[in-house]
Amino acid sequence: MTHKLAVIAIGGNSLIVDEKNVSVESQYKAAKETAVHIADMIEQGWEVAIGHGNGPQVGFILRRSEIAARVEGIKEIVELETVQTLLEKGIVTITVGGGGIPVVDPGDGNYEGIAAVVDKDYASSLLARELEADLFVISTAVEKVAVHFGKPEQKWLDKITLAEAKAYLAEGIHFAKGSMAPKIQAVIWFLENGGKEALITNPENIGRALKGETGTRIVR
């Protein structure tokens, strides 16, 4: 693979542009717009593997059927070799959708599906680590990450180090558990395991963030 590789995790919340309009049609339009911004990355020479969340979408379903548990202890991406082969052939690869289809190995090598929701940020982080990606991008509903969010002392973060990210997360007051906290943890795992840099921003600002004009960049 001669081009640089980026793993992009698209947050389900980033596809909800208007909280009063959560129709499939409106989400489709948002996904189409996100695809345009990713296409710009590809034109700039990036190879791209895409993971995506489904948090709010699953939430709509679970209002009718509360059967799913959350899975965070992800050990393996089962079809990693297939993903690698597709990327080597220059194919934009969509994988670990909604975190991926959760399965367990009972010990005989035959995977069995389980009723669960895999965290897409954690799954995409694992994918980025396994693929040795040059960049891990988390596309979410905000342009930048903030500390003291919603408070008078709120501060937007342009660039922070791995050590700073770990410190902010450890304080336990900056990032919501079901929102930004798993994104920061996913970035930490990526950087701790050889990753070079990560970027968090919203879909419409991916291009500008790559140029260093916006977004939050986390480096080792």
Give 142-156 pLDDT, tens digit per residue.
999 999 988 999 999
Give 155-173 pLDDT, tens digit per residue.
999 999 999 999 999 999 9
Question: What band does 13 get if pLDDT is binned at 50, 70 and 90?
Answer: low
**Contact status, residue 81 vs residue 105, Cβ threshold 8 Å:** no
Question: What band does 68 get if pLDDT is binned at 50, 70 and 90?
Answer: very low
**Contact status, residue 136 vs residue 195, Cβ threshold 8 Å:** yes
Residue 48 has pLDDT above 90, yes or no: yes
Residue 61 in tokens: 């379903």
pLDDT at site 126: 94
3-state secondary structure of 94: strand
**Contact status, residue 101 vs residue 113, Cβ threshold 8 Å:** yes
pTM of the model: 0.84
Residue 66 has pLDDT above 50, yes or no: no
150 phi-psi bin (left φ>0, alpha ψ -120 to 50, beta other)? left
The domain that holds 103 is classified in CATH as 3.40.1160.10
Domain region containing 179: 5-219
Distance CA 120, CA 11 (A): 8
pLDDT at site 73: 63
The number of folded domains in the chain is: 1
Residue 1 in tokens: 């693979």
